[in-house]
Amino acid sequence: MILLGNAGNKLWGGRFVGNTDPIMEKFNASIAYDQRMWEADVKGSKAYVKALQKAGLVTQNEMEQILTGLDKVFDEWSKGEFKIKPGDEDIHTANERRLKEFIGDPAGKLHTGRSRNDQVATDTRLWLRDAINTLKELALQLISTMVERAAVEIEILCPGYTHMQRAQPIRWSHWILSHAVALSRDVERLEDIRKHVNVMPLGSGAIAGNPFNIDRELLRQELKFDSISINSMDATGQRDFVAEFLFWASMCLTHLSKMAEDLILYSTKEFSFITLTDAYSTGSSLMPQKKNADSLELIRSKAGRVFGRCAGFLMTLKGLPSTYNKDLQEDKEAMFDTYDTVHAVLQVATGVISTLKVNQPAMEGALSPDMLATDLAYHLVRKGMPFREAHSCAGKAVYIAESKNIHLSQITVEDLQTVSPLFDKDVSSVWDYNRSVEQYSAPGGTARSSVTAQIEHFRTWLQAQKQKP
């Protein structure tokens, strides 16, 4: 027998007789991070041995030994007692090594017809499927918090901004819900991605398929996948579902970065619309007065981190030759880091939103008559003037007020009549913020009825989401 070298305990060892470079060993090994998928790997193997037994490649007795051995491996991991040994290149190697230590030779039959190429693709999908369930729950929690806050604070008015400049009066709750609706899209996209994840690669082998009449339908049912992959080369060589997850997370955190930007602005002394609780703020080691919205700043920051993961992985994927290449193991750290980041961000965001204090006098005090310039134009429109002309007239009124250094609402009727003879005493009805918001009663607007309709929509939607399997 030929002596084997250092590589003898690798799954692929047979032909290798020289030592590997220890730096290369470390460079190549994925165990440091892919051990996180220990549970998925055990589940995948338990299903696979059942299919092997059905195909006559292991006996009933061997299958039972393997299943029992795998349960012991599972136990060790869940108790934090599994010891990784040198030579455990990855979670698949580690689990099979431990299985052999438990049950001996039958362990060597587990990998018949399987390759790490279809094994890892399956494990990764199993892991991500569960991870998605968790993220969905956290997102629903955040949305629910926002919706209920919007319901409680529906009477509060505040400036609405476009281009960050005062635009029109809105309900504060309309602002809250504008962010909730983006997050609800995130939940729906996440469900779409879960469907894309839920396609089973197992039974694709290394590249060409499975040569032992493995029952892939049995595997599908055991592992609760929706469908089986249609082409073994694509199944082992694609990580679209990871790239999509990374992009999903980028979009979700981009949404949250915008909400954070708004809230940071509103927390400034200049705006004074909201105050964060101390739990989500930090001070300055130098300046005693400082209260910084660090929670929100970090939430805003993570969009870049996560999109970096997405961009990095897409760059890795570009121009890869077909089927499995080692490049693909870049998927996991990206996926795990992204998951952990989104997990934390959703939780912190929920905490921030549920505990921040709103300063109603400051919000309503920031409403200024110039924000009713559109209403002034609409006043003329309702008297029959084309909007384009009415807009111009209102703009001139704004100019007059600024020149005289008075509020728009203080312009005399005489001065207004120099702009248009259609103005008369009834213009005073314009200077009413509640009236202003209440006119936006078409669906999607900021009137009380419309905001209430949004809240009901979300409550119904949230109920339906929680009942989904």
Considering beta carbons, is residue 36 or 396 the nearer one to a second copy?
396
240 binds a second copy (CB under 8 A): yes
14 binds a second copy (CB under 8 A): yes
Considering beta carbons, is residue 44 or 113 the nearer one to a second copy?
113
- Residue in 63, 128, 170, 408 binding a second copy, rule: CB under 8 A: 170
Report d(CA 222, CA 54) in Å as an integer: 13
Across the strands, what pairs with 162? 165
- Residue in 44, 69, 205, 369 binding a second copy, rule: CB under 8 A: 205
Q: What angle do CA 408, 414, 416 make, to 5 degrees?
A: 45
The region of 38-46, 86-94, 141-149, 209-217 touching a second copy under the rule CB under 8 A is: 209-217
The region of 26-34, 131-139, 337-345, 379-387 touching a second copy under the rule CB under 8 A is: 379-387
DSSP 3-state of 206? coil
- Residue in 94, 107, 363, 367 binding a second copy, rule: CB under 8 A: 107
- For 357-399, the DSSP string reads EE-HHHHHHT--GGGGHHHHHHHHHTTT--HHHHHHHHHHHHH
185 binds a second copy (CB under 8 A): yes
Site for a second copy in 327-356 (CB under 8 A): none
Residue 196 φ/ψ, nearest 5 degrees: -70, -35
The CA-based dihedral angle spanning residues 144, 336, 116, 21, taken in that order and rounded to the nearest 10 degrees: 180
The region of 25-33, 83-91, 359-367, 395-403 touching a second copy under the rule CB under 8 A is: 395-403
Which candidate, 388, 442, 452, 380, places its Cα nearest to that of 417? 380
Report d(CA 372, CA 382) in Å as an integer: 15
Sign of dihedral through CA atoms 221, 222, 226, 229? negative
Three-class HEC string of 419-457:
HCCCCCHHHHHHCCHHHHHHCCCCCCCCCHHHHHHHHHH
- Residue in 54, 396, 407, 448 binding a second copy, rule: CB under 8 A: 396
386 binds a second copy (CB under 8 A): yes
Tell me, residue by residue from 144 to 163, as one string, x for binding to a second copy by CB under 8 A and - for no binding. Answer: ----------------xxxx
Report d(CA 293, CA 356) in Å as an integer: 11
Report d(CA 434, CA 430) in Å as an integer: 10
Report d(CA 161, CA 371) in Å as an integer: 10
Query: What's at 224, amino acid-wise?
Result: K
Considering beta carbons, is residue 243 or 356 the nearer one to a second copy?
243
Considering beta carbons, is residue 80 or 421 the nearer one to a second copy?
421
Report d(CA 388, CA 371) in Å as an integer: 18
Considering beta carbons, is residue 230 or 286 the nearer one to a second copy?
230
Give least dist CB 215 to a second copy, A. Answer: 8
Give how many residues touch a second copy by CB under 8 A: 124
Considering beta carbons, is residue 21 or 278 the nearer one to a second copy?
21
244 binds a second copy (CB under 8 A): yes
Considering beta carbons, is residue 168 or 198 the nearer one to a second copy?
168
**Active-site residue 436, yes or no?**
no
24 binds a second copy (CB under 8 A): no
133 binds a second copy (CB under 8 A): no
Tokens, residue 423: 């103005």
The region of 78-86, 239-247, 273-281, 405-413 touching a second copy under the rule CB under 8 A is: 239-247
Tokens, residue 43: 């589940």
**Active-site residue 163, yes or no?**
yes
- Residue in 48, 225, 247, 339 binding a second copy, rule: CB under 8 A: 247
Torsion region of 392: left, alpha or beta (phi above 0 gives left; psi -120 to 50 gives alpha):
alpha
Site for a second copy in 283-322 (CB under 8 A): 300, 303-304, 307, 311, 314-315, 317-322
389 binds a second copy (CB under 8 A): yes
Catalytic-role residue among 92, 115, 227, 284: 284
Site for a second copy in 77-106 (CB under 8 A): 96, 105-106
414 binds a second copy (CB under 8 A): no
- Residue in 169, 187, 329, 348 binding a second copy, rule: CB under 8 A: 169
Sign of dihedral through CA atoms 183, 184, 187, 193? negative
Catalytic-role residue among 92, 111, 144, 163: 163
Query: Exposure of 181 by Cβ count < 10 A (0-12 exposed, 13-18 middle, 19+ buried)?
Result: middle
- Residue in 26, 79, 80, 211 binding a second copy, rule: CB under 8 A: 211
Give least dist CB 247 to a second copy, A. Answer: 5
Give the catalytic positions in this structure.
163, 284
